[in-house]
C-alpha cells in the first residue's frame, strides 16, 4: 500500500498531513464497518437464544447510533424496543409469588469485545 511521493522541503508538511488524514479516514471507515457488523451479529445471536413466549420480545431487538459528542465519535447501542423492561428480569430471574429462573441470552461484554476485535481486524485487512 506504500507509494513513493516526491516533494520539496516546502511541500513536506502538506504531504505528511495528507498521508495522516488518509490513514485516519481509512481507520474511521474500518471502525464503523466493524461496529456495524458486530452489532448485526450480536442482535442475531440474541434473537437466536432469546426466550419465546409471544415472539414480541425476540423480534424487538434492534440498534441505533449513539449521538456523537465530537468529530469521529461513532457507536451503536443494542436494545429491545418494545419489551425493554423484561431484559433484566429474563437475564437474571426474579423472586416473588411466581418466581422465575434466569434465562441468560445476552452476550457478555467480553464476548462482544472479542467479536469487535475480530471484525476490526477483518475490516483493516480489507484495506
Q: Could you tell me the residue range of the domain that residue 92 belongs to?
A: 12-126
The mean of the pLDDT values for the chain is 90
The answer to pTM > 0.75 is: yes
**DSSP H stretches of helix in 9-64:** 12-49, 56-59
Number of structural domains, the chain? Answer: 1
Is 1 a domain residue?
A: no
Position 127 scores a pLDDT of: 66
81 inside domain: yes
Tens of pLDDT, residue by residue over 94-123, are 998 999 999 999 999 999 999 999 999 999
Residue 85 is assigned to a structural domain of this protein: yes
Amino acid at each position: 500500500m506504500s507509494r513513493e511521493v516526491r516533494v520539496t522541503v516546502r511541500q513536506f508538511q502538506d504531504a505528511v498531513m495528507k498521508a495522516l488524514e488518509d490513514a485516519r479516514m481509512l481507520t474511521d471507515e474500518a471502525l464503523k464497518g466493524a461496529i456495524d457488523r458486530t452489532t448485526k451479529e450480536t442482535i442475531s445471536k440474541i434473537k437466536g437464544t432469546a426466550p419465546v413466549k409471544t415472539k414480541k420480545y425476540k423480534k424487538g431487538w434492534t440498534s441505533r447510533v449513539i449521538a456523537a459528542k465530537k468529530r469521529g465519535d461513532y457507536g451503536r447501542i443494542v436494545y429491545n424496543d418494545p419489551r425493554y423492561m423484561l431484559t433484566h428480569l429474563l437475564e437474571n430471574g426474579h423472586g416473588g409469588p411466581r418466581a422465575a429462573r434466569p434465562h441468560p441470552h445476552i452476550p457478555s461484554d467480553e464476548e462482544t469485545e472479542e467479536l469487535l476485535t475480530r471484525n476490526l481486524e477483518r475490516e483493516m485487512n480489507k484495506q
